[in-house]
Structure 1
Amino acid sequence: MMDLLLPNLVEISLEDCERCQQLPPLGKLRSLKVLIIKGMGALKYIDNNFYGDTESCFPSLKVLKVRETPCLEEWAAVNGRQHFPLLTSFTIHYCPKLVKLPMLCFPSLEVLSICKAPCLEEWAAIDGRQHFPLLTSLTIDDCPKLVKLPMPKSLKRLGVIGTSVSVLKSLMTNVTVVKYVWISEFPELSGGLLQNQKQLKELSIDKISVKPPSNLLDNLSSLKRLFLQRWSQLETLPAGLQNLTCLEDLRVWHCNSLVSLGVNELQCLSSLSSLEINYCQKLRCLSEGVRYLTSLEKMYIEACPKLNSLPQSIQHLSSLRSMQIWHCEKLISLPNKIQHLARLSELKISDCSNLVSLPQSIQHLSSLRSLCIEDCEKLISLPNEIMLSELNILNCSALMSLPQSIQHLSSLRTLSIRGCDKLISLPNEIQHLAMLSELTITGCSALMLLPPGIRSLTALERLTIERCPHLERRCQEEDWPTIAHIPYKRISKEVYHNS
C-alpha cells in the first residue's frame, strides 16, 4: 500500500524518532533513492518488515545511512529476493551493540563506511560470492572486534582505523589494486604489511605507538604521497624511504620523538617536490641529506621548537620556489648558502623569536618576489638589498629602521610594515620605488612622519595607516600634501578617495 500512496517519493530521513521500535516497509518504495535513519534510540532490530513483501527490495535506492542507533543489535536478511540492486553508498555509524551485518550482496556498491561499531564481529560471505564487486572506497573505523569481512577485489581507497590487526593484514594481503591507504591507531605494524601494494599512490600512517618495522615501505615503487602523523616512537624517518623514487609529497606531523630526518633516508628522493614538517617537538636539524632533494619546490616547517638552524646543504635545492618557517623559536639565523636558491620566489618567516637578522646573501636571490617576516621580535635589521615585489614586515618589535638601500627594490609593488613599535623613520630613498602600488603601516607607534619622497610614488594607489597615533595626526594635517595624490587613503578609521 505504501508504494501506491507514495509512488514518487525519492528521499526519506527518519531522525530522532526515539520511541520508534520498528521500521516501516520502506523497501516497497520503488522510487526511493536516499534513505537516512538517524538517532532512533529504541530501534533494536531491522527485521523482514523493513524490506516489504515485494520481489525486489529498494529497487532504486542509491544512498543508505544508518547513524546513531545505540540499541540496534540485529539486522536480518531475507533470502530469495533481490536487495538494494542500485545502492552505491552505504554508511553505518555508531551502532555500538550491532554484532553482525546481514548476509546480502550489493552488486552496485561503490562506497562503504563502517564506523564506531565496537561489538561488530563479522560480515560473513555468502557461498563464496563477492558482496560488493564494484566497491572502490572502504572505511572501517573503531571496530576492534571485527575479524571477518568479505574481501573487495576492486578497492581503490582504504581507511582502517582502530580495528583488529587481523582484518588489516587480511585486507593488505588480498586487496592488491588499492591506490590510497590510511592506517591509524594500531598497537603494531608487522613487517612486510604493504609488500603487495605495488600500485599504491598515497599512504597515510597515523597514531602509531611502536617503532616502524624495517621493511614497512618495501615494494612501494609507485608511491607519490606519504603522510606520517602522530607516530610517537618515530625517531628518524623509516628505513626504506630512500627506495621511494616516485615520492613527490612527504609530510611529517606531530612526531614528537623525531630528532633528525637522517641522511640515507633522503638520498634517492629525487622526485620529491613538497616537504612539510609540523609539530615535531624534538627535531633539531633537517640533516645534510636535504642536498639530495633536487626537485623540491616547497618546504614548510612549523612548530619545531628545538630546530636551531638549517643545513648549509640547502644550497643544493635548485628547484625550491617557496620556503615557509613558522614557530621555530630556537632558530637564530638562516644559512648564507641560501643565496644559491636561484628559483626561490617566496620566503616567509613567522614567530621565530630568536631570529636577529637575515643574511646579506639574500640580496642574491634574483627570483625572490615575496618576503614576509612576522612576529620576529628580536629582528633588528634587514639586508641592504633584496630584489622582490612584495615585502611584509609584521610584529618585529626590535626593528628600528629600514635600510637606505631599499631604493634598489625597483620591482617592489607591495610593502607592509606592521607591529614594529620601535621603528622611528622610513628612509627618503623610498621615493625610488617606482612600481610601489600599495603601502600599509599599522601598529608602529614610534613612527612620526612619512618621508617627503612619498610624493614621487606616482604608481602608489593604496595607503593604509592604522594604530600609528603620531603619523595619523601628521598625515591628516600638515603632511596631507605629501599623500594627497594617492587615490585611496585609509588613515585610522577614515577613508579618503580622490574624486
Structure 2
Amino acid sequence: MSSGVSWVSHKPSDRKEPYSAEEFRNIEEIFEQLIPPHTLEHLGITDLFASSYPTWLGTTHLSSLKYLIIRHCQSCEHLPAIGNLQNLKRLEIHGATAVTKIGPEFVGCGAIAFPRLEVLVIRGLTNWEDWTFAVFEENAETGRRKEVGEDVVTVKQEGEAPTPRMQFLPRLKHLVLDCCPRLRALPPQLGQGTSSLKTLELRHMHCLKVVENFMFLSESLLIAQCESLERVSNIPNVRFLNAPLCLKLRCVETLDNLQKLIYTDDMLEMSSLWLPGLIEQRRKLQGEDLDVYTWPGCSCYTS
C-alpha cells in the first residue's frame, strides 16, 4: 500500500495582470489528469491555482486516504465533497480565503459523513460566514407539500417508513476552528452527532455568539478571543473550560461535570453573572469545589 506523502501544488508567478478564464481551465485540466494511486494514504494540496478542486478528490477513488491537508487554495470558492472518504482520519483546511459557505455538498450524500474522521482542523478561512451540514428534513418535507398544494400540517401515511437521518462525524475526537472571524454559528448537527468528541478549540471566532448543545464533548473546551461570544450552555460532560478574553460572555450554564475553569481578569465583571452558579452547581452535583484560575488579560495568550 502506498503510504508516502504526495503533494500537489501549483503556485502562480508574481505577474500583476489577472489570469484569464482560459488559463484557469487549462490549470484545472492539468490537475484533473494528475490522479493519485487509489492506495495513497497521505495527500497534501498546496496553493492550487484553480477555481475548483479535481473531481477525483470528491469520489471514492482515494479509498485508502487517511490524512488530507489543504493549504492556501485561495481561488476555490467551494470545498471538495470529501465526506464519503471512508478511511479519512485527519483533515486540515488552511487559508481557503475564497470560501464563504460550507454546505451539504462538503459532507456528500452517504448515510454517514466522514465515518472515520478523528481530527478536523479548519484555520484561516477569513471570509467563511455560513456552515450547514444538510437541509433539515422538516424544511424539505414542508417544501414538498407546498409544491403539491397539500396542507403543511399533513402527517405521513400510517406505516410509511421515516426517512433515515444522515450521521455526521461519529468518530470525531478533536475539532479546531481558528481565525474564521466571520462564521456566525455552528451547525446543530455538530453537537448532536459527534458522539466521540473529546476536545473542542475555538479561537478568534469573532462573530460567534453561542456555543451550546455539545452533548458528548467529554474533556475540554477552549474558547479564546471570541469577541462576540455571549453564551456557553448545555455541554453536560465537559470537564475543563478555558475561556480567555471573551469579554461579552454573560451566560455559562448546564456544564454539569465541569471540574476546572480558566478565564482572564478582564472578564471579572461579566463572570460575576455566571461563576457563582457554576460553583454552586459543582458543590450540589459533585460535592466538591470548582477549580477556578484567573489569568492576566493583558498577557499574550499562547496555550
Alignment TM class, shorter chain as reference: 0.5 to 0.7
1:189-268 → structure 2 map (5 Å cutoff): 189-190=271-272, 192=276, 194-196=278-280, 197-198=282-283, 199-200=288-289, 202-207=291-296
Q: Is 1:88 aligned to 2:156, yes or no?
A: no
- Structure 1 alignment gaps of length 5 or more: 210-228, 231-499
Aligned equivalent of 1:177, options 257, 266, 288: 257
Between the two proteins, what is the percent identity of the paired residues? 24
Deviation, structure 1 residue 135: 2.5
Deviation, structure 1 residue 141: 1.0
Matched with 1:73 is 129
1:326-475 → structure 2 map (5 Å cutoff): none
Matched with 1:29 is 85
Query: Which amino acid counterpart does residue 205 of structure 1 have in structure 2?
Result: T
TM-score (norm 2): 0.61
CA distance in 2, matches of 1:139, 1:160: 6
Q: Is 1:101 aligned to 2:157, yes or no?
A: no
Q: Is 1:186 aligned to 2:267, yes or no?
A: yes
CA distance in 2, matches of 1:107, 1:15: 28
What secondary structure, in the 3-state scheme, does the structure 1 residue paired with 2:91 have? strand
Q: CA RMSD in A?
A: 2.4
TM-score (norm 1): 0.38
Give deviations 1:385-440, integer Å, cap 9, x for gaps.
xxxxxxxxxxxxxxxxxxxxxxxxxxxxxxxxxxxxxxxxxxxxxxxxxxxxxxxx
Max Rg structure? 1
Aligned equivalent of 1:121, options 195, 209, 222: 209
What secondary structure, in the 3-state scheme, does the structure 1 residue paired with 2:83 have? helix
Matched with 2:246 is 163
Give deviations 1:93-126, integer Å, cap 9, x for gaps.
0001111111112211110011101111234x6x
Q: Could you tell me whether the CA contact under 8 Å between 2:60 and 2:84 is conserved in 1?
A: no
Could you say which structure has the greater relative contact order, defined with CA pairs below 8 angstroms and 6 or more residues apart?
2
Matched with 2:219 is 136
CA distance in 1, matches of 2:101, 2:172: 21
CA distance in 2, matches of 1:202, 1:147: 22
Closer, same or farther: CA 202–192 of 1 in aligned 2, 3 Å: closer
Deviation, structure 1 residue 22: 0.5
Closer, same or farther: CA 22–208 of 1 in aligned 2, 3 Å: closer
CA distance in 1, matches of 2:115, 2:59: 12
Query: Which amino acid counterpart does residue 192 of structure 1 have in structure 2?
Result: P
- Structure 2 alignment gaps of length 5 or more: 1-55, 137-164
Give deviations 1:18-76, integer Å, cap 9, x for gaps.
11210111101010010001111111111111011111100000100111110101101
CA distance in 2, matches of 1:165, 1:19: 35
Deviation, structure 1 residue 208: 5.4
Q: Could you tell me whether the CA contact under 8 Å between 1:28 and 1:52 is conserved in 2?
A: yes
Query: Which amino acid counterpart does residue 117 of structure 1 have in structure 2?
Result: M
CA distance in 2, matches of 1:119, 1:12: 28
Query: Which amino acid counterpart does residue 263 of structure 2 have in structure 1?
Result: I
